Amino acid sequence: MSGQRVVVTGASGLIGGALSASLRERGDDVVHLVRRPPRTTGEVQWDPDSRNLDPQVLDGVDAVVHLAGAGVGDKRWTPSYQQTILRSRVDSTTAVAGAVAAHGDRVRLVSGAAVGIYGSDRGDEVLTETSESGHGFLADVVRAWEAATAPAVEAGAAVATIRTGLVMGPESQAFAPLVKLGRFGLAGPLGSGRQWWPWITLTDEVRAIEHLIDHPEVTGPVNLVGPDPQRQGDVAKEIGRQLHRPAVLPAPTFALRLVLGGFADDVVGSQRALPEVLTGSGFEFRHATLTAAVADLLS
């Protein structure tokens, strides 16, 4: 459904940038909330740290897609940066949800979240939107992140929180290094390699968000993951197969922690998440299998 006016936060990120381009291509009017002074008529300055957003910014807006937040893989997880990760999400979501609540329930809110809410290691357990949340820093962050949408929910707005998995994109923090290593025949298992990876291609991530914009009847948590989760070692093998390179040399967990810091928990953790709500709402994946997803990643 094109011709809508959509506000996007976090547009400078991997997902936000791709989403903005796709929305414009399909005919939507896209407005970016930015921290710096606006450079175009399609930008509005805001201060997410203030936990406040003028509701008038949402005049004439059909939907808000809120993706802003400090990158979990951008820096090492010092105690200070962990607080930055948490505050950036809770403060900005509080601001957006407050504006949506004050403006009325016509504005659709699609707010960022992550499969990290299920905890870093759930083994072989199948995880759906009704599964209990887990333990650990990221689980705590996502619980607080989703809870910050409460003002909009309580005001009657249509709110969906998108629990995104590991996004297969050219600049993905999980997949870009794996592809680079794969070209040299070094994309072997990370950690044990037996952990389940809840992957989704960037293409389907964007399409799923657009689907949720167009279907405001879908509310609550929504797992944005592909329908075919695979063990990480099998993902590495498929990347190697399509690159015609071996993928057998493992990267030990301790080495990953040295390189990735706390983000290593996402890489070596096991989350066998399924997109039950998304597929139940009629969404069809363009890349439903690992083979198709890796082909798209390498293209």
CATH number reported for the structural domain that contains residue 277 in this entry: 3.40.50.720
16 SS3 class: helix
User: What's the rounded Cα separation, in Å, for the pair 76 and 73?
Assistant: 7
Range of the structural domain that residue 209 is part of: 5-298
pTM, two decimals, is 0.94
Provide φ and ψ at 5, rounded to 5°.
Answer: -105, 120
Q: Residue 125 has what DSSP assignment?
A: E
Q: Show the DSSP H helices in the chain as ranges.
A: 14-25, 79-103, 137-147, 150-154, 175-182, 202-214, 232-243, 253-260, 264-268, 276-280, 290-298
Provide φ and ψ at 231, rounded to 5°.
Answer: -70, 145
Amino acid (one-letter) located at 92: S
Amino acid (one-letter) located at 236: A
Tens of pLDDT along 23-41?
A: 999 999 999 999 999 999 9
User: What's the rounded Cα separation, in Å, for the pair 136 and 45?
Assistant: 34
User: What's the rounded Cα separation, in Å, for the pair 223 and 221?
Assistant: 7
CB crowding 73-82: b at 16 or more within 10 Å, else e? beeebeeebb
Show the tokens assigned to 101: 């609540």
User: What's the rounded Cα separation, in Å, for the pair 196 and 48?
Assistant: 34
Cβ burial, residue 112 (10 Å; 0-12/13-18/19+) = buried
Say what the pLDDT of residue 251 is: 61
Amino acid (one-letter) located at 198: P
Tell me which residues of the chain have a pLDDT lower than 70.
105, 249, 251-267
Size of the chain in residues: 299
Number of independent structural domains in the chain = 1
- As a whole number of Å, the end-to-end CA separation of the chain is 28
Q: Residue 292 has what DSSP assignment?
A: H
User: What's the rounded Cα separation, in Å, for the pair 290 and 230?
Assistant: 8
Residue carrying the six token digits 């293409």: 203
Tens of pLDDT along 244-254?
A: 988 776 765 65
Judging by DSSP bridges, how do beta strands 230-231 and 196-197 pair with one another?
Answer: antiparallel
User: What's the rounded Cα separation, in Å, for the pair 95 and 103?
Assistant: 12
Which residues lie closer than 8 Å to 100 by C-beta, 6 or more apart? 55, 58, 64, 107, 109, 151, 152, 155, 157, 159
Say what the pLDDT of residue 108 is: 97
